Amino acid sequence: MSPRPAHIVIVEDEPVTRTALAGYLESFGYRVSDFDTAEKAEKTLTQGTVDLLIADINLQGKDGLEITREQRARSEIGIILLSGRTDDVDRIVGLELGADDYVCKPFNRRELLARVKNLLRRTAAMRALTRRVLHFNGFTFDVGSRQVTDAAGQTIVLTRAEYELLRVFVFNPGTVMDRDRLIAAITHRQDGTNTRTIDVLVQRLRAKLGDDPKAPRIFTTSHGEGYVFTALLD
Amino acid sequence: MSPRPAHIVIVEDEPVTRTALAGYLESFGYRVSDFDTAEKAEKTLTQGTVDLLIADINLQGKDGLEITREQRARSEIGIILLSGRTDDVDRIVGLELGADDYVCKPFNRRELLARVKNLLRRTAAMRALTRRVLHFNGFTFDVGSRQVTDAAGQTIVLTRAEYELLRVFVFNPGTVMDRDRLIAAITHRQDGTNTRTIDVLVQRLRAKLGDDPKAPRIFTTSHGEGYVFTALLD
DNA sequence: CATTATTTGTAAAAAATTGTTAACAGGGGG
DNA sequence: CCCCCTGTTAACAATTTTTTACAAATAATG
């Protein structure tokens, strides 16, 4: 199922807790890197290969809350905070900063494992959506440089509106997007643009990407509702 | 890009907690449906439009753990369990069944809100990306990409209404679905649609999937009640 | 068991929505 | 300025959804 084991980083200054937890998770096949300070973990975290971060909230130097803020600002990594105290304030602040979970010490390691598993399931999907270069049906779409290339490597030139439309679709796969929402996403005008403009643009995108509305694989019309991006992202 | 409000279902038998929580979440713009038993929530949950489920673990009849097991088996909905006791066993069982979170009463509602927000962020990506493929009577039904292929590998193109109808059936096998419920699941209109529309759509689905109403294998008519999906899912 | 009422199957028309083509207007660059 | 490109609108064809009508099937009644 999963080709590589998930990579988990633990930041915990208490040696016993840290090594015990690391060993426990490793015994379940995870790749674990453990550190006693945030500063030492930094290097690994910036690699971009980490799936999940487990950090103590009380650390020397940079603490768990600060790490949470930093990580959440730049990645969709899963974050679980550990704390010695049953402190409501810490917990709420941590969660509001974007931590996914908060576990109080002493914790039951089987419980932590269950939380790790569930969170990894969620983040796997998330990562695919935040990528800047996406692949679907043989096409490569570089969101930053606005480049689309087909399976043969041929560049497909998109106009501004076509690009904006594709971008909205690609970041909302499987979601029916109504015309008003699509209009709002691609036009910068205030006044009401005719919703049929979307139909024409979808048709042009279909033509360029070779999608047949009678047997759609990329853009599926949802009669009476709008359009859905139904290509398989990988 | 302002997405539609997330739909949250609350199952909690204690009226005070339930209404307070529902009101609180609604005040943050969420669409909330609350029920006092799992059985009553069922109808809403099977529609497939729910993003997040908050369920008490101790309920009359079907309890939170049972709901968790059922939901996780067929959807990627986010699940938060509530409990009066600080019971390790319940918590661990709940998490291992696939609940995403476990909150003990009395809970801080601001904390719950933070957890709801974080979980919704994760599930939004998940729902769109995970591919749910079902098999029945030689047919393959990819719910995400809306594609149906027959035993020979031929693609069967479904219209929006046919797709929605098949989706509701497939997620509720063996359950008699009355016409009003089916109408509610497939229509995008406000005004009441004629229930006979369902008969026509069932007939078209039968035609496309080669099902004979006189010897039904997929869609069985329940005279005076509605229709049942009777294909063997595997 | 025959008759009647109710419900469902089917086909086809009507209404609503979308696909497609083409034309028009406005902006930017040569 | 003129030309080309893009976004937009309009018009008409095609498709999908819903309604309607009637035949067939099922259930209810005596």
- What are A129-178's pLDDT values in tens digits? 777 899 999 999 998 888 899 999 999 999 999 999 999 999 899 889 99
**Partners of residue B145 in chain A, C-beta under 8 Å:** 217, 220, 230-232
- What are B88-132's pLDDT values in tens digits? 788 888 899 999 998 888 888 999 999 999 999 888 777 777 778
Contact call for A231 and B145, based on CB within 8 A: yes
Average model confidence (pLDDT) across chain A: 89
By percentage, how much of chain B surpasses pLDDT 70?
97
* Cis-peptide into B106, omega within 30 deg: yes
User: Which two structure tokens, joined as six digits, stand for A228?
Assistant: 């859905």
Q: Which residue has the higher pLDDT, A22 or A61?
A: A22
3-class secondary-structure state, position A191: coil
Determine the length of chain A: 234
Strands A147-149 and A139-142: antiparallel
Stretch A6-13: mean pLDDT, rounded?
93
Strands B226-229 and B219-222: antiparallel
Facing A129 at nearest CB: one of B129, B145, B188? B129
CB under 8 Å to A133, separation ≥6 — which residues?
Answer: A140, A141, A142, A143, A144
Stretch B173-202: mean pLDDT, rounded?
89
User: Whole-angstrom Cα distance, residue A210 to residue A202?
Assistant: 12
CB under 8 Å to A5, separation ≥6 — which residues?
Answer: A29, A30, A31
Contact call for B126 and A128, based on CB within 8 A: no
**Partners of residue B122 in chain A, C-beta under 8 Å:** 100, 119, 122-123, 125-126
For the cut 60, the answer to whether the pLDDT of residue B2 exceeds it is no
**Per-residue pLDDT at A155:** 92
Helix axes B109-129, A88-96, angle to 10 degrees: 30
User: Whole-angstrom Cα distance, residue A215 to residue B159?
Assistant: 10
For the cut 50, the answer to whether the pLDDT of residue A1 exceeds it is no
Determine the length of chain B: 234
Cα B47 off chain centre by: 5
Stretch B42-49: mean pLDDT, rounded?
80
For the cut 60, the answer to whether the pLDDT of residue A2 exceeds it is no
* Cis-peptide into B5, omega within 30 deg: no
Single-letter code of the amino acid located at A142: D
User: Whole-angstrom Cα distance, residue B102 to residue A41?
Assistant: 29
Contact call for B118 and A95, based on CB within 8 A: yes
Q: Which residue has the tokens 């709940």?
A: B94
Stretch A86-103: mean pLDDT, rounded?
84
User: Whole-angstrom Cα distance, residue B51 to residue B2?
Assistant: 16
**Per-residue pLDDT at A3:** 55
CB under 8 Å to B133, separation ≥6 — which residues?
Answer: B140, B141, B142, B143
Least Cα separation, residue B111 to chain A (angstroms): 5
Least Cα separation, residue A218 to chain B (angstroms): 8
Whole-number Å distance, CA B162 to C1' D23?
25
User: Whole-angstrom Cα distance, residue A218 to residue A137?
Assistant: 8
**Per-residue pLDDT at A190:** 61
Give Cα separations from A90 to A81, A101, A105, B58 (angstroms): 10, 12, 13, 28
Average model confidence (pLDDT) across chain B: 90
Contact call for A122 and B100, based on CB within 8 A: yes
Portion 18-47 of A in contact with B at CB < 8 A: none
Strands B176-177 and B219-222: unpaired
Number of Cβ atoms within 10 Å of the Cβ of B144: 18
- Which residue's C-alpha is at the least distance from the C1' of D24? B214
- Contact predicate A94/A148, CB 8 Å: no
By percentage, how much of chain A surpasses pLDDT 90?
57
User: Whole-angstrom Cα distance, residue B232 to residue B234?
Assistant: 6
- Comparing alpha-carbon positions, the chain B residue that sits nearest to A115 is B95
For the cut 50, the answer to whether the pLDDT of residue B69 exceeds it is yes
Q: If you average pLDDT over each of A86-90, A191-195, B2-6, which comes out highest? A: A191-195
Prediction pTM value:
0.79
Stretch B32-53: mean pLDDT, rounded?
88
**Per-residue pLDDT at A183:** 92
Say which range, A2-11, A20-29, A102-111, has the weakest mean pLDDT. Answer: A2-11
Tell me which DSSP letter residue B233 carries. B
Contact call for A101 and B96, based on CB within 8 A: no
For the cut 70, the answer to whether the pLDDT of residue B10 exceeds it is yes
**Per-residue pLDDT at B123:** 85
Stretch B22-48: mean pLDDT, rounded?
90
Q: Which nucleotide, over all strands, has the C1' atom closest to the CA of B207? A: C10
Burial class of residue B153, CB neighbours in 10 A (0-12, 13-18, 19+): exposed
Q: Which band of pLDDT confidence, cut at 50, 70 and 90, is reported for residue A191?
A: low
3-class secondary-structure state, position B220: strand
**Partners of residue A89 in chain B, C-beta under 8 Å:** none
